[in-house]
Chains A and B, each alone.
Chain A
């Protein structure tokens, strides 16, 4: 015990004060900083980033399309209709609509900052699919970082946020530690925007061992933004709409460049275009996104796998261009072809389903927010992947939400009194964060706990090995084992600051997983096949379940309270 106290005494603390604390320097966070500084250059902004702003998060490798964009002939209203249909009619129309009105603005700003967007002779971007345009975004993250640095917002890199400071349901700041400097940070803030990104690594991934991080969503997005909100008692929504995506096998690379870019069709081992030939009644090629994956899994079950995206119609030159195109986003895939001395015109990519992710940018798990992106905790905002209710927002929608939140924050900031931070809370959090350094007899390492959690989720909460299928009995087991793991987490041990970060990442993921399981148990219908397939309630039930499933965690009693909220049409919201 004395050992622990000594360790904590050795920790240097740093107290900071700001008007707006932004957690996470991704698209949502950086656009929030940009918009806030544009409207009021005098506002004090502090951005805390777990990695380095130049290459952090989802965009570390780059991006080759902007997938939420109002293309010629489309309108914000038609975008809303499309998202609603693709999400089986359950979305927050107010959130999706306000995003739709902003996505082209975000794209234009990115282009002004330097993002290369190829344009045709009429100056129009190349439309890759409905609501999607081609960009050459290998350098997008440094470009966004450069623009953010130019706003003179203060940026602290390599700082991991561990909890929010909340008093009387008002946010007052956040606690964090430096993964390089080892300091404990106490940040007092009038407003806080959570923009950390979603959660990967909850379920066992497609690949194992040395290939375990060949996953689609950034393995460094560990659900911290959700976890700090959950622990603070913020209301969360629709975690049960997990995101499972159809991806190129092995590297788990996105398929849009192939499916939309070069119009490759999904074919089975017999060469059949199975979406059209076998599942016409579900909409054929235009069936909702999760159904296209469902059909692919069906083909495999019925013995007609593997399935491909058929790229054999490409010329050698087109195939090489496609390889180069992936260098903007998944360079490993380009190498995958090159290393084997092959090309997509010779070897069409095989398609499989990923492990489930929890993301508000593709699906809609996240904070329950109002139209201005404020959560149920006063002055606490959420934008991007951690913000719920608005699927298919992607990069441009994340930027849009950051800007929307910033505008509301500026309206309120002058009327917010100085936030309070209590010494007892500081002491408690410091002990929680750093006691992981304390030597113990039954110590477990973060990787061990992560593997165990991923196995539990894979086995009992609809992972890849169970075909994504859920039922009550298995979910109840998942609940039980996760509760045990939460206790096991008290035995986590770290040798250094990098491992300390990994320990807190697995603690965060466990909190997300527990909320997720409660959401999956609560919705007694099948709304989004694959994302949420309840074998014991196989049908969609609009009469009883066309509503949101929300939750609030009560830290003192370790209880997750479930709440149901009605849907509202856009007219009603307006």
Chain B
């Protein structure tokens, strides 16, 4: 496996009027739109696990799954890209979750560069309760 697209959650993002975010993001040209208007991956064996489609999906319909032959267990990784940060949720086979967050842009660029129209990598601004960024100082 590479990614799993939940066919109940995918709403097609306005296809065919506009290119869907997942279809745009995939570096391997692996995501296509089915005749029912929902996204699907054409070859999971070709997926590189980059998570570009996962982070940008506004429906949170996609997660990362590792091949059974590698990990022997079913787990999943979800992520959502906001302008400021990405919020990640990893799940083990028993459903136990661990949450992570990673900063996306530095503060300086957020105050000077932002023209909301130009952001194609994030759905919107982070509106949740802000945790401090994962500190990556000395010794990680």
Residues in A lying within 8 Å of B, measured CB to CB: 51-52, 54-57, 60-61, 111-118, 120, 126, 134, 136, 138-139, 142-143, 145-146, 149-150, 157-158, 179, 207, 209-215, 218-220, 250-251, 257, 261-263, 318, 320-325, 327-328, 330-332, 334-336, 338-341, 498, 501
The answer to whether A219 touches B48, judged by C-beta atoms less than 8 angstroms apart, is yes
Known pairs A51-B26, A139-B105 / 15 extra A-B pairs, C-beta < 8 Å: A54-B120, A55-B25, A61-B48, A114-B105, A134-B140, A139-B104, A213-B45, A213-B46, A219-B28, A220-B48, A330-B49, A331-B50, A341-B93, A341-B96, A498-B32
Output the residue of B49, B52, B118, B119 with the most chain A CB within 10 A: B49
| Contact of A261 with B100 at beta-carbon distance under 8 Å, contacts A139-B105, A321-B134, A331-B88 already known | no
User: Hey, which chain A residues are within 8 Å of B74, CB to CB?
Assistant: 339
Contact of A327 among B2, B94, B102 (CB under 8 A): B102
B98 at interface, CB cutoff 8 A: yes
Assembled-state Cα–Cα distance A321/B135 (Å): 8
Q: How far is the CB of A120 from chain B (nearest CB, A)?
A: 7
Interface residues of B, count at CB 8 A: 66
> Quick check: is B79 within 8 A (CB to CB) of the other chain?
yes
Interface residues of B in 92-131 (CB under 8 A from A): 92-94, 96, 98, 100-106, 108-110, 113, 118-122
* Inter-subunit contact A338/B29 (CB<8 Å): no
Q: Which of B44, B47, B67, B90 contacts A338 (CB 8 A)?
A: B90
Q: How far is the CA of A113 from the CA of B114 in the complex (A)?
A: 11
B70 touching A338 by the CB < 8 A rule? no
A501 to B136, CA, bound (A): 40
Residues in B neighbouring A209, C-beta threshold 8 A: 45, 67, 69
Partner of B118, one of A116, A146, A261, A318: A146
Query: B65 → chain A, closest Cβ, in Å?
Result: 8
Q: Give CA–CA (A338, B103) in the complex, Å.
A: 20
Residues on B with beta carbons closer than 8 Å to the beta carbon of A323? 98, 100
CA distance A366 to B139 in the complex (A): 36
Q: Closest CB-CB distance, B12 to chain A, in whole Å? A: 17
What is the CA–CA distance of A51 and B46 in the complex, to the nearest angstrom?
Answer: 14
A139-B81 contact in complex given A179-B29, A214-B70, C-beta closer than 8 Å? yes
Shortest C-beta distance, B20 to chain A (Å), equals 12
Report the separation of the CA atoms of residues A330 and B134 in the bound assembly, to the nearest whole angstrom.
17
What's the least CB distance linking A213 to chain B, in Å?
A: 5
Q: 8 nearest interchain CB pairs?
A: A339-B75, A114-B109, A142-B121, A338-B90, A332-B49, A61-B50, A60-B50, A55-B52
Contacts of A214 in B (CB 8 A): 49, 67, 70
Is B92 a contact partner of A340 (Cβ separation < 8 A)?
yes
Instruction: Determine if A321 and B136 form an interchain contact, defined as CB atoms under 8 angstroms apart.
Output: yes
A229 to chain B minimum Cβ distance, whole angstroms, is 22
Q: Would you call B77 an interface residue if the criterion is a C-beta within 8 Å of the partner chain's C-beta atoms?
A: yes
Rounded to whole angstroms, the CA-CA distance of A140 and B66 in the bound complex is 24
**B51 interfacial by beta-carbon distance below 8 Å:** yes
Specify the chain A residue showing the minimal Cβ separation from B54: A331
Q: Which of B34-79 contact A (CB under 8 A)?
A: 42, 44-52, 64, 66-67, 69-77, 79
- Closest A-chain residue to B75, C-beta based? A339
Closest-CB distance, B54 to chain A (whole angstroms): 8
* 28 pairs, CB–CB < 8 Å, chain A vs chain B: A51-B28, A57-B27, A60-B27, A60-B48, A61-B51, A112-B109, A116-B106, A126-B138, A134-B136, A136-B102, A136-B133, A139-B105, A143-B109, A146-B113, A146-B119, A207-B67, A209-B45, A213-B46, A213-B48, A214-B49, A262-B140, A321-B134, A335-B76, A336-B71, A338-B90, A338-B91, A339-B90, A341-B93
- How far is it, in angstroms, between the C-alpha of A116 and the C-alpha of B133 when the chains are bound? 11
Residues of A within 8 A of B67 (CB): 207, 209-211, 214
B9 at the interface (CB under 8 A from A): no
**Most A CB within 10 A of own CB, among B28, B69, B72:** B28
Inter-chain contact B71/A340, CB cutoff 8 Å: yes
A332 cross-chain contacts in B, Cβ below 8 A: 49, 64, 66, 77
B residues contacting A by CB (< 8 A) are 1-2, 24-29, 32, 42, 44-52, 64, 66-67, 69-77, 79, 81, 86, 88, 90-94, 96, 98, 100-106, 108-110, 113, 118-122, 133-140
Chain A residues within an 8 Å CB radius of B139: 261-263, 318
Chain A residues positioned under 8 Å from B47 (CB to CB): 213
CB within 8 Å for A207 and B69 given contacts A55-B52, A113-B109, A213-B2: yes
Contact between A331 and B64 (Cβ–Cβ < 8 Å)?
Answer: yes
> From B110, which residue of chain A is reached at the shortest CB distance?
A114
Task: Tell me whether B106 and A158 are in contact (CB under 8 A).
Answer: no
Whether the pair A126, B106 counts as a contact (CB closer than 8 A) is no
- Chain A residues whose C-beta falls within 8 Å of the C-beta of B26 in the assembled complex: 51, 55
Whether the pair B88, A334 counts as a contact (CB closer than 8 A) is yes
B77 touches A335 (CB 8 A): yes
Residue A118 contacts which of B29, B79, B137 (CB distance < 8 angstroms)? B137
Pick the residue among A51, A114, A257 that contacts B106 (CB under 8 A).
A114
Chain B residues whose C-beta falls within 8 Å of the C-beta of A501 in the assembled complex: 29
B136 and A136 form a contact (CB under 8 A): yes
Please, which residues of chain A bring their CB within 8 A of the CB of B105? 114-116, 139, 143
Say which residue of B2, B24, B86 sits within 8 Å of A139 (CB atoms). Answer: B86
Rounded to whole angstroms, the CA-CA distance of A340 and B68 in the bound complex is 11
Q: Given A56-B27, A61-B50, are A211 and B70 neighbors across the interface (CB < 8 Å)? A: yes
Q: Check if B140 sits within 8 Å of A335, measured CB to CB.
A: no
Residue of B1, B28, B70, B108 near A251 (CB, 8 A) is B70
How long is the Cα–Cα vector from A60 to B106 in the complex, in angstroms? 19
Q: Which residues of B contact A339 (CB under 8 A)?
A: 66, 71, 73-76, 90-93
Residue pair A138, B86 in contact (C-beta under 8 Å): yes
CB distance from A223 to the nearest CB of B (A): 15
Known contacts A126-B138, A146-B113, A211-B67; A334 and B104 CB within 8 A of each other: no
